[in-house]
Amino acid sequence: MAAHSAVTAGAKGRLIAVIGDEDTCTGFLLGGIGEVNAKRQKNFLVVHKDTSVSEIEKAFEQFINRADIAILLINQNIAEEIRHVIDAYEKAIPAVLEIPSKEQPYDPSKDSILRRAKGLFSAEDFK
């Protein structure tokens, strides 16, 4: 009921976007994150074997520049294909989070955002 009141009162939420393989996107879409806005823009990109790197870069750029996106989830193996773009990204919102895929486990040493965050803090900060 409270959520319904917030929507009718004009409060605007933000979305999660996903760039991932078919299984990852399907899982999140079944979880309810799918959205097609008034401009017919989706908040997800299903990456297939024949998806070009330029298509992935274009989707990444579109998602990080949309005001309605708060979090961008990307399979780490796909992030590796556009690592130079992700490394250059410095904004806090939308937050870019690398996630594992069904076929590829998560490797923290490859995660640009995690490496950057670790560089901001020393071991002393956590004592």
| 93-123 pLDDT, tens digit each | 999 999 998 888 787 778 777 777 766 665 5
Does residue 4 have a pLDDT over 90? no
Distance (Å) of CA 118 to CA 22, 33, 83, 112, 126? 31, 30, 18, 10, 11
More confident call, 64 vs 35:
64
In the chain, where the domains are located: 15-117
Does residue 31 have a pLDDT over 80? yes
DSSP 68: T
Closest listed residue to residue 45, CA positions, set 24, 65, 66, 31: 24
Say what the pTM is. 0.79
CATH class of 15-117: alpha beta
CB 15 within 8 A of CB 70: yes
> What pLDDT is recorded for position 117?
72
| 46-84 pLDDT, tens digit each | 999 999 999 999 999 999 999 999 999 999 999 999 999
CB 66 within 8 A of CB 93: no
Within 13 Å and on the Cβ side, how many CA atoms surround 64?
A: 17
> What pLDDT is recorded for position 26?
94
> What pLDDT is recorded for position 12?
67
